[in-house]
Amino acid sequence: MRNSLASGSRLHSAMTTTELYRACMQLSEEARSLQMENEGMKRLGLNAQVLAAQTGQQGSALEVIVAEIGRLSGGIREVLTRLGDAAKVLSSTAIEILHMSHLRGSYVLGRDAGIEPASVRRFDETLDGIQRSRTHHLDELSLGLAQVETLIQDLSRIAQQIPPVTTMIRIVVTEITSHSDALLGTVDDLKGFYRNLDEKVERMKTIRGSGAHRIQELRKEDR
Amino acid sequence: MKYQKLAEGPDHTWWVLGRDPEKIGSVIDTNEYLIVGEETILLDPGGTEIFPHVVSTVSRIIPIERIGHFLCSHQDPDIFSSLPLWMGLCPSARIYLSWIWSGFVAHYGHEYTDRFVKVPDQGQRLVLGRKEFQLVPAHYLHSSGNFHLFDPELGILFTGDVGAALMPEETIAPLVCEDFDSHVQYMEGFHRRWMPSDRARDNWLARVSKLEVKMICPQHGSIFQGDHVGRFLDWFGGLPLGSASA
């Protein structure tokens, strides 16, 4: 009975740690795929720049839009780079936690099986070392997730600036006769990018929340 | 986990651990051997799953920090996947293993590779304090880099998977083989399947015939002593190896 309870608790702990690790890897993955999509945003800015040049005198209105797309793209790129860096740290920290939790689980089971007094000091020192390391990594992960939360908010704020830009392009298109189809295509592309960015930001918020919840669960286990 | 003294010399003792009643059924039963003397070695400490019970039992025999050496007879997970757990407790212990496996066993914990003693193919002497043991080559039985340990003073040969018996889950092998004829059924399939080479077996038998073996201690199943040592060697010598697969 004792053994099956211990196995059950070890299984739960392993599942929690694995979920935490998975959340960190998913954050990494989302950040990476957004970075790739942001390349599309950059290309969009360049295309608009070319159109502005081709549109001659009427292009001056477009230049404002081009500058705006460039600014948004730059802002997104900056946040995504920091997000990517944070995600890398999260992934490696999560791997350490996975490793430490695994070691801790086995040592705790050993202690439950009964360690003789002559060995207890060494055993407890080792277990404490593992425990300290796990707590340190959990703290690191908490900080990392808090940082990610701020970055996700920044990303969300920048994303909110895309719809006004699409509106501006629509207004300009009514004034420009040539290249209007290409410009409307730019609006559609921007809308698609915005929709995707918005969904990803929401997904990242959910993943971050799930990671924070798993950290709480693991901390409860430590008490 | 059960444990008992196996043999005793003037200044060193062999212990065997195994037959854990709390062991999960899907995890194969293993024997762990502990040689306690001026210096202490644990032979094939076992996998991660049984580590809690092995460490708990070893602590009943000696303070854990006294383990200064581990033998990893080959690379299998039931041999030493518990490596990082043991190294946490015995950080300065040395691990003897075949040189060909060091890069692979490092997958269990690369941080500890500086503790590896890479044993050459021809084997080597293993000096623990004033005691000297031999690491006897047993390549291809079953692993391509495989060592057994011989204690010349007590005549004990630790043979890893040679002599192993796989018992049905509900059957507990006696610690020391009592009825060789009925025990063969639990060894035959294993040896025919896992041991691939008659030539390797014959080389090993030639080496072992030069040793004064009084006891054969496999990592699974029962120990052979007395007449059963000779009966086992004869039986093994006549078995067509590598013959159990389709």
Position with higher pLDDT, A40 vs A5: A40
Helix (H, G, I), strand (E, B) or coil at B111: helix
Spatial distance between the Cα atoms of B135 and B121, rounded to a whole number of angstroms: 10
Give residue A57's pLDDT.
Answer: 64
pLDDT at A4: 53
Residue reference for tokens 């009943």 = B60
Q: What is the pLDDT of residues B28-48, one digit of tens each?
A: 889 999 999 999 999 999 999
Lowest mean pLDDT among A125-129, A159-163, B123-127, B198-202: A159-163
CA distance B54 to B44: 11
Q: pLDDT by residue (tens digit) across A139-151?
A: 999 999 999 999 9
Report d(CA A192, CA A195) in Å as an integer. Answer: 5
Q: Chain A residues within 8 A (CB-CB) of chain B? A: 3, 7, 102-103, 106-107, 109-110, 112-116, 118-120, 122-123, 126, 129-130
Per CB-CB distance under 8 Å, the chain B contacts of A115 are 55-56, 59, 64
Token pair, residue A123, equals: 């055993």
**C-alpha radius of gyration, chain A, whole number:** 25
Q: What is the pTM of this model?
A: 0.82
Do strands B40-43 and B67-72 pair parallel, antiparallel, or not at all (unpaired)? parallel
pLDDT in tens, B91-147: 999 999 999 999 999 999 888 999 999 999 999 999 999 999 999 999 999 999 999
**Beta bridge partner(s), residue B7:** B14
pLDDT tens-digit profile of B56-107?
Answer: 999 999 999 999 999 999 999 999 999 999 999 999 999 999 999 999 999 9
Q: What is the pLDDT of residue A70?
A: 82
Length of chain B: 246
As a whole number, the mean pLDDT across chain A is 85
Domain ranges of chain B: 2-237
Query: Which of B118, B111, B119, B114 has its CA nearest to residue B85?
Result: B111
pLDDT value at position A56?
Answer: 67
pLDDT band at residue B227 under the 50/70/90 scheme: very high
Query: Has residue A175 got a pLDDT over 80?
Result: no
Chain A residues inside the 8 Å CB shell of B53: 110, 113
Average model confidence (pLDDT) for chain B?
94
Q: Which two tokens stand for residue A9?
A: 């608790």
Q: Concatenate the DSSP letters of all residues of A78-91 into one string.
A: HHHHHHHHHHHHHH
Nearest CA in chain A to B47: A106
Q: What is the enclosing helix (H) or strand (E) of A130?
A: helix A117-159
Which residues have C-beta within 8 Å of that of residue B29, sequence separation ≥ 6? Answer: B18, B19, B20, B23, B167, B173, B220
Match 């920290």 to its residue by tokens: A93
Give the whole-angstrom CA distance, residue A218 versus residue B142: 42
Residue B57 CA to residue B1 CA, distance in Å, equals: 7
Q: CB-based contact (8 Å) between B25 and chain A?
A: no
Q: What pLDDT, on the 0 to 100 scale, is given for residue A186?
A: 79
pLDDT at position B23 over 80: no
**Tokens at residue A75, please?**
């802002």
Which pLDDT belongs to residue A208?
92
Residue B13 reports pLDDT greater than 90: yes
Q: A118 burial class (0-12, 13-18, 19+ CB within 10 angstroms)?
A: middle
**Angle of helix A162-175 relative to helix A180-222, nearest 10 degrees?**
180
- Residue B239, pLDDT > 80, answer yes
- Distances, alpha carbon B171 to alpha carbons A83, A179, B145, B194, in Å: 57, 84, 31, 21
Amino acid B157 reads: L
pLDDT band (50, 70, 90) for residue A2: very low
* Partners of B3 in beta bridges: B17
Share of chain B above pLDDT 90, in %: 87
10 Å CB burial of residue B188 (0-12, 13-18, 19+) is middle
Contact A2, A76 (CB under 8 A): no
CB pairs under 8 A between A and B: 57
Check whether B24 has a pLDDT greater than 70.
yes
Which of A28-42, B4-18, B172-186 has the highest average model confidence (pLDDT)? B4-18
Please, which pLDDT band fits residue B20 given cuts at 50, 70 and 90? confident
Which stretch of DSSP H or E encloses residue A2?
Answer: helix A2-54
Strand-strand pairing, B67-72 and B94-98: parallel
Whether this model's ipTM surpasses 0.85 comes out as yes
Compute the distance between CA of residue B72 and CA of residue B95 in angstroms, rounded to an integer: 7
Of B53, B62, B63, the CB nearest to A113: B53
Asked whether the beta carbons of residue A112 and residue B52 sit closer than 8 angstroms, the reply is: yes
Pairing of strands B156-160, B215-218: parallel
Q: Does B189 touch chain A (CB under 8 A)?
A: no
Most confident of A166-170, A206-210, B152-156: B152-156
Residue that the structure tokens 């013959």 belong to: B243
The pairing of beta strand B215-218 with beta strand B224-225: antiparallel
- Mean pLDDT, to the nearest integer, of B201-222? 97
Does residue B27 register a pLDDT over 90?
Answer: no
A44-62 mean pLDDT: 72
Contact indicator for B240, B194 with CB cutoff of 8 Å: no
Nearest by CB: A106 against B48, B63, B65: B48
- Chain B residues inside the 8 Å CB shell of A102: 48
Q: B95: helix, coil or strand?
A: strand
The amino acid present at B11, given as its one-letter code, is D
Rounded distance between C-alpha atoms, residue A110 and residue A120, angstroms:
11
Residues 6+ apart with CB under 8 A from A207: A23, A26, A27, A30
Q: Domain B2-237 is classified in which CATH homologous superfamily? A: Ribonuclease Z/Hydroxyacylglutathione hydrolase-like (3.60.15.10)
Q: What is the pLDDT of residue A1?
A: 40
Does position A8 have pLDDT exceeding 70, yes or no?
Answer: no
Decide if A3 and B22 are in contact by the 8 Å CB cutoff.
yes
C-beta of residue B138 within 8 angstroms of C-beta of residue B121: no
CA distance A11 to chain B (A): 12
Query: pLDDT digit string (tens) for A192-219?
Result: 888 888 898 999 999 999 999 999 998 8
- Residues with Cβ within 8 Å of residue B218, at least 6 apart in sequence: B31, B159, B160, B161, B162, B163, B164, B165
Distance from CA of A98 to the nearest CA of B (A): 14
Which percentage of chain B shows pLDDT scores above 70? 99
| B4 φψ region: left (φ > 0), alpha (ψ -120 to 50), beta (else) | beta
A76-125 pLDDT, tens digit each: 888 888 888 888 888 889 889 888 988 998 999 999 999 999 999 999 99
